[in-house]
Structures are given as structure tokens and as C-alpha cells.
Chain A
Amino acid sequence: MSSRLAELKPETRPLEQERDAELATRSLGKDERAFRELVQRYSGLVYNIIYRMTNNRELSEEMTQEAFMKAYKNLRTYDTARPFRPWLLRIASNATLSELRKRGRHQATSLDELQESGFSVENEPNRHIQPGHGDEISTSLERSEASQQVLKAMDKLDPRYKQALLLRYQQDLSYEEVAEALEVPLNTVRTWLRRGLEKLRDEVKELAI
């Protein structure tokens, strides 16, 4: 009986099984292990969104650290009845857009930077395909080129559309979560996604010409 009770106590459960809200509450009580767990859960997501917005690894790391520090300092404002992920992404998103505005431009991605990124041909997940599978290599190269074009085209989008597309289609957030992360109504998210996709299609067509 007592062991069952112990299982129910949050302190005795492994941190990996804790809900975000519980971890946030414990972090607020200066439990650094709990906050570390949140960092481990979401640093990849935050870093990737920022990286796709800035195309700069160094800046992305700096901004990721900044986003988590802001989250830590403002944990008191987090409503534990709501999901943590959009709340964190909102902080990251605002920090990123603010930084981009401060820098005066939405940094365009050069082809070199793209090749440096995980989307270079060498870094494609299918790069280990053995010789003899010519068709697959060709398909992989085509896919890689198309991905590069899409990424390049994305840099010409309005940052709000770009963020919405990345959150929805790269990070698989629900419409509601995207709305919460970007602090806009649900219908605005739908509009941004549609406009973003259509603009992206047009940009990709232009790049292909």
C-alpha cells in the first residue's frame, strides 16, 4: 500500500515521467533538476525554430540560451493549466523576431549556409546509400535540391508566415498550439498557413526558373 502511495508522489517518479506543468512548478521552487529536464525536452525544438529563422548556428545557440533564461525568470507567469510548449515557444519566437528586427533585416540564407546546414547533400540522411543504388541516390539528390530550394524560398517569406509553417509542418504543433505560441487567433493561423504555403510555392517556382 505504501509503495503504491509512493508511486503517486511526484517527487518519487522519474523526472522523465513528470508532466511539463509539474516540472515547471518544481522549477519555480528552485529545483534545478526539474528545469534541466524541461531544457532537455525542449532545447532541440527551440534551437531548431530559431535556427530556421536566423540561419546562424552561433546566434541560434545564444538565442536558445536566452529563451530558456527568460522562461526561467518568468516561470511565475506560466499558467500550469495550459500547455508549456507553446508558452516556451512564444518566448523564443518573440525573442527571435525582436533580435531579427534589431539586426535590421531578416537574414537571407545563402547557398553556402544551406550547404553548411543539415540539408547539404553530404548530410542527407540517405547519404549512406551504397553504390549500385543509382536511382535512390538520384532521388535523394533531387529531394535534397528541392529541400534546399524550399528552405531558400522560405527566407523570402514574412517571418510570421515562416514561423507558422515551421511550427505546424516541421514541429508538428497543432493549430491551437501555433495560435498560442504566436499569440494570434486560430483563424489568423489558418490564414497565415495558407498564405505562407502559396507564397512559398510561388517563390520555389521563381527559384526554379
Chain B
Amino acid sequence: MSTLPPSCDDARERILTSLDGKGDKPLTHLEHCPDCRAYAGEMADILGHLRAIESEPLPDGLTDRIMDRVAQEEAAPKVVPLARRLLSRKYASIAAATLLVALAVPLMLRPGVPGTSQQVARAPRQVEQTSPSAKTAPVKAEKKPSTDSATEAVPSVAAKTAEQSSTSVTAALPADATVSHTKKPIATPKKATPVRKVPARSVRATAIAQAPAQTTQATDAAEQMLASALPQEAFAAEQEGDVYYDPLSEFVGF
């Protein structure tokens, strides 16, 4: 086509258009161009044969077979692809919430940030001294293996406790106590016994002395929850102040 003179190329386009019933033949050009006249004749023949192609008869019963398949499709239980299920609104919202938590937790656990886990974890430690019921804890403290089933319930309890009391309590803590605590090395999650000894007496005493009265109610509630969740030994140790059992240690790997 590209070797054709522009006039012939254009004429052939018009020939095809006219054979398609959509225009006039380039009569003037055809009078002077034998090649294009031959082209017009050949194209007319080819188109004649194409249009003469008869339709192939449909196989008997094809419509019924198609409709049978449609009926089977309707009767079959709908299997939603996994990808589509995952993209459904319900799961998308769950995924979004999970993502949000995943992003928020590391931020919350950053050392030195007010209301973070380091300070949150101290909240129960202050609780036990203000509560009279804690004094009745009967058992001497011993280190408790982290596999103890009772400790598994601790993190959520501690988190609840922290929600109730962390704001006011951490505000009452002296700055040096916070700093010294946050400088403690962070243990890897795999380590066997996430129990830490914290020289908590002085910190605790200072914090309690400065704590506003409004924290008393919250700390009482927190203490009750802690007492029910912690193993007795650990709780007793808490009361005596020589061992601090950090309930969040298992949860966040501290």
C-alpha cells in the first residue's frame, strides 16, 4: 500500500468504501488507472464470495445444552474466590483495624513517651501499696515461669489497668524514675523468664506520695483485677516490693 501513489491509495480506499455501500467510486481515477480498475474488480469478487458464505447450521439441542449449564451454574453453591472474600467490606474493615493497631502499638511502646508501656506497666506497681487488700496476700514471692497459664491473662488486665490509671499516675511520677526505668535493656521475646527485678521501693513511695487522691478509685479496681489475674506468688512479691513482675513483659517482649 505504501508503494502506491497517493492518488491510487486514496482511490482504493474509496473503492472499498463504495463496495461497502457507503460512498461513490472514484470514477475519474478509474478511467485513467488500469491497476485500480483491476483492483476494484478483484475486491468486488472477494466481497461477493465473503457475503455468499452460508451460515453453518446449529447443532441440534445446543440451546438446551447451554440452558442446562446455566441451570447447573445456578444450582451449584457459590464459591467466592479468596481474594474477593478478602476484599469484602467486612474483612477490609478488620484488616484496616488490625493495621491501625499494628501501627499504633510500636508508637505506644516507644520509651520516654508519656502514657507508654513502660509507664503503663508501672501503674499496677503503685496500686498495690495504696490498696489495703493487697497487704493480705499470703504467699512469698518466687519467680514464676513465663509459661504459667495464669500469666497469660495478665497483659489484657494490665492494659485495662493502664487505661484507667496511667494518665494521672504517670503524671505523678518523678522524672528521674521514668528515665532510669526506660534505660533498662530490652529483652528479646524468646527469652525464658521475662521477670525483672526493679528497685521499685523508692520510685513507688515517691509516686504514691505525689499521686492525687483521684487515682485511688482507679487503682483499687486495678488491684483487684491484678490480684485475680496474677499468680499468687507473683502478686505477693509485688506487694512486698522486692520483685516486680512486669505483666506486659510477655505480651510485648520486654
Q: A residues engaging B (CB < 8 A)?
A: 30, 32, 35-36, 39-40, 43-44, 47-48, 51-52, 57, 60-61, 64-65, 68-69, 72-73, 117-119, 125, 143, 146-147, 150-151, 165, 169-170, 193-195, 197-198, 200-201, 204
Cβ of B99 within 8 Å of any chain A Cβ, yes or no, is: no
Q: Which of B231-248 contact A (CB under 8 A)?
A: none
Given contacts A47-B56, A197-B43, A201-B43, contact A64 B62 (CB under 8 A): yes
Q: Which stretch in B66-74, B168-176, B222-230 binds the other chain?
A: B66-74
28 examples of A-B residue contacts, CB within 8 angstroms: A36-B67, A43-B62, A44-B58, A47-B58, A48-B55, A48-B56, A57-B59, A64-B66, A65-B66, A68-B66, A68-B70, A69-B70, A72-B70, A117-B56, A118-B55, A119-B53, A143-B49, A143-B52, A146-B49, A147-B49, A150-B46, A193-B16, A194-B13, A198-B1, A200-B50, A201-B43, A201-B46, A204-B46
- Tell me the B residues contacting A by CB distance below 8 Å: 1, 12-13, 16, 42-43, 45-47, 49-59, 62-63, 65-67, 69-71, 73-74
**In whole angstroms, how far apart are the Cα atoms of A1 and B100 in the complex?**
63
Q: State how many angstroms separate the Cβ of B70 from the closest Cβ of chain A.
A: 6
CB proximity of B71 to chain A, nearest CB, Å: 7
A204 to B58, CA, bound (A): 28
Q: Which of B54, B57, B58, B69 contacts A69 (CB 8 A)?
A: B69
How far apart are the CA atoms of A151 and B56 in the complex, in Å? 13
Q: In the bound complex, what is the Cα–Cα distance between A194 and B15 (angstroms)? A: 10
Q: Which residues from chain B contact A69 at a C-beta distance below 8 Å? A: 66, 69-70, 73
CB distance from B14 to the nearest CB of A (A): 11
Determine whether the beta carbon of A200 is less than 8 Å from that of B46.
Answer: yes
- Kindly state the separation between the CA atoms of A48 and B57 in the bound complex, as whole angstroms: 8
